[in-house]
Amino acid sequence: MLAGLYEIDWAAMGHAYGSAEEVPELLRGLASADAGEREAALDAMYGAVHHQGDVYDSTLACIPFLFELVADPSVRDRGRIVVLLTSIGGGDEVAEEYLDEIVIEGGGPAGGFGDTMDALDGEDILGLLDAEGAAATEAAEAAAWRANYAMAVIAVRAQAEVFTELVADPDPEVRRAVPVALGALHGETARTLDVLRDRLPVERDTETRLALVEAVGTLALRRGGPAAEAADWLVRLAGSRADDLAVRASEDAPSAADPGLRLAALAQLARCAPERLPADIVPTAIALLRAVRGEKPCNRSPQEVPAERQVPATFIGRLRELREQAEAGRSAPWAADLLRTLHTALDDRVEDRVALVLDQLRSPDWGRRIDAVWMSGGLVRGWRGQYEELVALLGQQLADPEGRLRDGAASVLENLYGLAAPAADALAEAVAADPGSWVREWSQGRPSLGGMVKTLARLGDPRALPALASALDRPDIPQDLGYAIEHLGAAAAPLAPLLRRRLAEVTLNDEEAYDQAEPLLRGVAAIEASEAFPEVLRILRGAPKARRDWLLCSAIRALARFGPAASDALPDLRALVADPGSCIALEAASALWAIERNTAVLPVLLAHLDSDSPHTRRSAAEALGELGPAAAGAVPRLRELLTDPAVWMRVDAAVALWRVAGDAGPVLPVLRSAWSENVHTRAVIAGCLAELGPAAAAAAPLLRDELAAVRRHNNEGDHYGTLDVCADEQLLLACRRALSRISGTGPVTNGGN
């Protein structure tokens, strides 16, 4: 086994962490009789040789040996190696297109990726690898990476027939992994479809049968795959009439009326042929889910890991153990994957997705409700819809005795901001009942507020005040307390005495001064607690060297919010403005304007428009906009910035120019262009369009299209942030306000504040 392994110069190759000299031992470790060694070797393969899906020269060199291990029945855990090979050879459309390009340009076979792969043997692959390796020294790094991915696709797909031979392997883990590999990698898609369909009637393992159905859906999505034939088969398998299905049982499945198979077929249809889904997809899916799981609640709680069982030392081992814990005590845990696939594939059909989730959230089975909770998070985060009932049901989970269900619901609600309002009473009750949840302690870093407290505060609900007051009494103030107070606004005014007391206690010769003071300064600024002026001035004058600029910025912003009540700080602020190149000077100039409305700050702001820092330039433009017509001297420079290469700079300059000059002519084209160029600028742009009023009529179609869109403007698939829902809801509000003012039904703000 593994003949020739040590004839390769592995030390000359690399992986994510340098030399690949240890790869031979990893490959031998995959074949070890010891389970721990096998797991450690697989963990290292994912951690270095195939780090985060990357493909290195050492990854490519491993492929023949991995296939040798997969084909040897004496090797254990071969299913995991199949999964690894599937990941390495998965490639993507970009890799396939690039591979077509390099083969055609090099004089090789044309006619598409499948023909390319069929025409190449092992020596051809090595030749291409050598050629690309030489070219990579001269080409851009990105091209070299694309070449590696393309070569991985060729190398794995060239040997994918091995997977066909494993569909009936005695090891169920191998059989579960093989359909996914076949569906994604085998070049002969029509023959692969026959292999998968022929296997289903004789396969008895439930999860393998589901994997076979999934693989058919994947085949249908492959470029040049048998889409129509695969969809026809899925339609038959998903058919709604049980008597018809029973007639076809012998040709389609051991029991074609199996609700799990039918649900799997529906999920794959949603992926590859959504137009062929039945009109009653929601009630059909709900009925199948109930048939799969049963309607009796599962009274078993998730099992704890036995005390004598040690936590795995590897990352993949820990992931596997977490999955085992998640599935413990649950009926048909695989049904969650089917529902998730169907739910995700329904995509923009928000009403159908909401209906599915609502049914799951009402289930007496805690397992089904946990699945629904997490699906709710993805749905609300990425799509716009009517979520009041869904959110109210999430709130009900906060009182459930199952801890994972409570934690999951709290986590989803935490990032919904204003949309969490239907759960406000449930949140308030849960917060009041569990003071231990008010603050989270971390193994490293400062504490933070508990999720439910933050959610309640983000709703502006004063029932969060007891928790915030308690947090203010802690030795270490939670790092995010100031943000919670910002959301409460005036409702947090009763906290002013506590904020003042804690500000007075901040030690100014301490490296921790910023961490102690920043949440407090943000808090007094949010409620405009000008009575805290003495405490803020003390910090302004005594800020230590450690993170001094950060601390000064926080103190200056608080003084600006106090307005004329902070006039005694004017000498200090004027002294800070003296250095026009300092970021502190910009903050101080803005505060001076907020306190005394003195145009003497204009030269400082103008100087910062030419800063080397993009952030400083944008901040200066925003500050000039606050001055309004008083900043007329900045108009020429702001006009120049309307053509800046950076889209955000153009937007900020346009907003400032409108507020200073009140001329929509040069501003509107910039805003309309930026709207399409960068979706994240839209909330700012919509706010400015509202200020333009009727002068922004040409932008009204953009606003209407945004309001009609189902997807949130910042829906970026698997990439998301905690502010996504809040940012999108603010955009929708700004769009409605802008349309109202454009049509003349709302108040219009002319140029200059």
| Cα–Cα nearest to 381, from 340, 413, 358 | 413
Which residue's entry shows tokens 């499945």? Answer: 253
Average per-residue pLDDT for the chain: 85
Q: Are 44 and 63 in contact (CB under 8 A)?
A: no
Which numeric CATH code is attached to 5-243? Answer: 1.25.10
Which numeric CATH code is attached to 434-597? Answer: 1.25.10.10
What would the mean pLDDT of 188-209 be, rounded to a whole number?
Answer: 92
In the predicted structure, residue 416 carries a pLDDT above the cut 60: yes
Q: Are strands 439-440 and 18-19 parallel, antiparallel or unpaired?
A: unpaired
CA angle 606, 608, 611 (to 5 degrees): 130
Q: Give the tens place of pLDDT for each residue, 675-697.
A: 999 999 999 999 999 999 999 99
In the predicted structure, residue 700 carries a pLDDT above the cut 60: yes
Which two tokens mark 279? 């009109």
How many whole angstroms separate alpha carbon 182 and alpha carbon 187?
Answer: 9
| Cα–Cα nearest to 286, from 221, 353, 231 | 353
Over pLDDT 90: what percentage of the chain? 63
Question: Best-predicted range by mean pLDDT among 60-64, 144-148, 151-155, 521-525?
Answer: 521-525
Rounded to 10 deg, the angle between the 424-433 and 403-414 helix axes is 130
Number of neighbouring beta carbons within 10 Å of residue 149: 23
How many whole angstroms separate alpha carbon 427 and alpha carbon 464?
Answer: 9
Number of neighbouring beta carbons within 10 Å of residue 130: 10
Q: Give the tens place of pLDDT for each residue, 126-157.
A: 444 454 444 444 445 666 777 788 888 888 88
Which two tokens mark 698? 């040409």
Spell 272-290 as b/e; 16+ CB within 10 A means b: bbeeebeeebbebbbbbbe
How many whole angstroms separate alpha carbon 735 and alpha carbon 728?
Answer: 10
Q: Give the tens place of pLDDT for each residue, 435-489.
A: 999 999 998 889 999 999 999 999 999 999 999 999 999 999 999 999 999 999 9
Helices (H), 543-601: 548-562, 570-577, 583-596
Q: What is the pLDDT of residue 729?
A: 96
What one-letter code names the amino acid at 479? Q
Which two tokens mark 641? 């910035």
What residue ranges do the domains of the chain occupy?
5-243, 434-597, 630-753
Predicted TM-score (pTM) of this structure: 0.80
Q: What is the pLDDT of residue 2?
A: 83
**Higher pLDDT pick, 305 / 727:** 727
What would the mean pLDDT of 579-585 be, rounded to a whole number?
Answer: 76
Q: Cα dihedral sign for 734, 740, 743, 744?
A: negative
Number of neighbouring beta carbons within 10 Å of residue 375: 21
Which two tokens mark 270? 């949603």
DSSP one-letter code for 634: G
